[in-house]
Homo-oligomer: A and B are copies of this chain.
Amino acid sequence: MNIILLEKQEVQGGTVLLTDRRAKHLIKVLQVQVGDTVRIGIIDGPKGSGRVVASCNKYPFQVELEVQLADELPDKPPVDLLLALPRPIMLRRIFSQAAALGVGAIFITHAQRVEKSFWNATLLNEEEYRPHLLHGLEQAVDTRVPEVFICERFKPFIEDVLPSKIREYSHLLIAHPGSSATLKSVIHERPRRILLAIGPEGGWVDYEMDRFAECGFASFSLGERILKVDTAVVAIHGRLSERRESFL
């Protein structure tokens, strides 16, 4: 936990009283004392600092912080993800890793090679997945929670949801092991916003690739190696970040 994240409504009169895992972390791991200052942030709001004004260092742990906030919100990360629903255990890791790396939004839809049973995962409820996003932000010292859009049926997603979104993006990219294009060959200028689509284990089927192509997605591959979806998300995010910085 490299930043203590607070819900806006928790801060009252410039202070916040923590009594949950955040209090325990401050006491047991950071071993704060009255007068110490820690990094805090309002969820989907600015970062700042919290000065410890009172604490109880045995169970039940309590820490009261006096909160100072910066004026500005962190920037929204310039990459969004589009995933065919992965296996829940993998999706959980993707939620926290994507939030740590920085993504603006995560779109999740179906694909032919997605096991139907994955759609029963409790992880698809916001109260289940939000903690994983927050863990990623706490790791990376960010406050902006990635927006999550879940659309179980592929056809309505690609025909109705996606067209209203794609105007935001300068680059629509789809990772596809069969493609002969490299990232370098599909990004010719500094991207403003990128939507990156990554398929299920086994890849998108031709029908799905055709629909994405109709929406304007350019396909690329990383070469011959086949990666698991969670590894691919992080590796391609790294590549996109590096390519983006090459235009600076």
Contact = CB atoms under 8 A, between A and B. Distances in A.
Interface of A: 2, 97, 100-102, 139-142, 182-184, 222, 224-228, 231, 234-239, 241-243, 245-246, 248
27 contacts: A100-B228, A101-B225, A101-B227, A101-B231, A139-B226, A139-B228, A140-B225, A140-B226, A140-B227, A141-B226, A142-B225, A184-B242, A184-B245, A184-B246, A184-B248, A222-B241, A234-B234, A234-B238, A235-B235, A235-B238, A235-B241, A236-B238, A238-B238, A238-B239, A238-B242, A239-B241, A239-B242
Given A225-B101, A231-B101, A234-B231, A242 B183 contact: yes
Contacts of A245: 182-184
Contacts of A140: 225-227
Given A100-B231, A101-B231, A140-B226, 14 more contacts: A2-B226, A97-B231, A100-B225, A101-B225, A139-B226, A139-B227, A140-B227, A182-B245, A184-B246, A234-B234, A234-B235, A238-B238, A239-B239, A239-B242
B141 A224 contact: yes
Nearest to A222: B241
A102 B100 CA distance: 23
Contacts of A248: 184
Most chain B CB within a 10 A radius of its CB, from A97, A100, A226, A234 = A234
